[in-house]
Amino acid sequence: MSLAVVGAVVLVICAMAYALNAGRGVEGIVEDSRAFQARKDRYRWRRDDSRNDPQLMEELKQWKEKNSSFDYEKLGSGLIPTSMINKALDGMKPFVKSDTWFTEFELHNKPSMILSESQDSYIIGNLATYDSRQYPQWYDSKFEPGVNTPEGQAFGHTLVISKTRIFNVVDPEATADDCRRLKEMKHHFICFWETEHGSPKLIRRTQSAFDDQNAKLERKQSTLEIFQKLLPTLKKDFDSLAEDFKQLEPKDFQFAFHAWPDNSVGHLHMHVFPKKEDLRRFSAKRHDLKTIPLEAILQVEEEDKRRATEETER
């Protein structure tokens, strides 16, 4: 199976997941305290709903045991699409029913898709490009602008995934040991960013996704002229964004999660992307409401732990 087909499959899944969240209005991701509190509330509500759902917890257990005979209802949309079962990417290991796009990532993806590896996590490139203008309706009628196009949330949007089988941030394992794993994911990215080859590597990956999407647009003969008119603008913007992106410091990044069932891929992954408005100007804002910063999760976990301790001491 070629990467192009996989890309198309991913697009469809993303488009479906994104369509569910359409029409909700946009509110920036939050340095202000009211918006931050709303993300904390959302996390607490999603987490408690999930952990109090016996069917979901049973599915989670089966998933961790890699049970491919089990009928997953609740986890279903986070798993590999049925069209990909028994198929492989580029001669890698074929997927089975209980896989997700990111589970045991190294067995299913070329090494070049892994930008960095630590003991607990991988930093992987995003297959979707950051620029909504690369998903025009003249190319594909299902790309309704601002509703179901699959672009990332900013230039350089990337993902940190756990190496072990953890399903989303609502999985109790995700926040075990005072959120050790979530903190490690952020730490991993910052270490990567601060090495000399970190930002060039991420820019190259961003460029590949950008180029791949342009190549697709270019292959459609009937709209070639429209595309050729657009391309210089896209490239000029890419170069200027890449320049700004290089200058970023760790504090300029958003580290965030989409809590089940707001997520698309089931496997635990942290979104990392620049906070700066400028670096988000061609990218998706409509996921902002469901985008929960790591800090919000850490605060909720700490508050709830403190409350539980106080209650047992009483």
Q: Note the residues at the interface with ligand NAG (CB under 6 A).
A: 62, 65, 67, 69-70
* Shortest distance, position 242 Cβ to ligand NAG, whole Å: 48
Nearer to ligand NAG, 103 or 121 (CB): 103
* Amino acid (one-letter) located at 126: N
- Separation of first and last alpha carbons in the chain: 60
| d(C-alpha 288, C-alpha 25), whole Å | 9
Nearer to ligand NAG, 59 or 131 (CB): 59
Count how many residues are written for the chain.
314
* Shortest distance, position 86 Cβ to ligand NAG, whole Å: 18
* Shortest distance, position 70 Cβ to ligand NAG, whole Å: 4
* Shortest distance, position 60 Cβ to ligand NAG, whole Å: 12
| d(C-alpha 15, C-alpha 262), whole Å | 13
| d(C-alpha 192, C-alpha 189), whole Å | 5
Nearer to ligand NAG, 33 or 69 (CB): 69
Can you read off the two tokens belonging to residue 197? 């080859």
Cα separation values, 308 from 302, 311, 314, Å: 10, 5, 10
- The H or E element that residue 208 is part of is helix 198-219
Nearer to ligand NAG, 36 or 70 (CB): 70
* Shortest distance, position 63 Cβ to ligand NAG, whole Å: 10
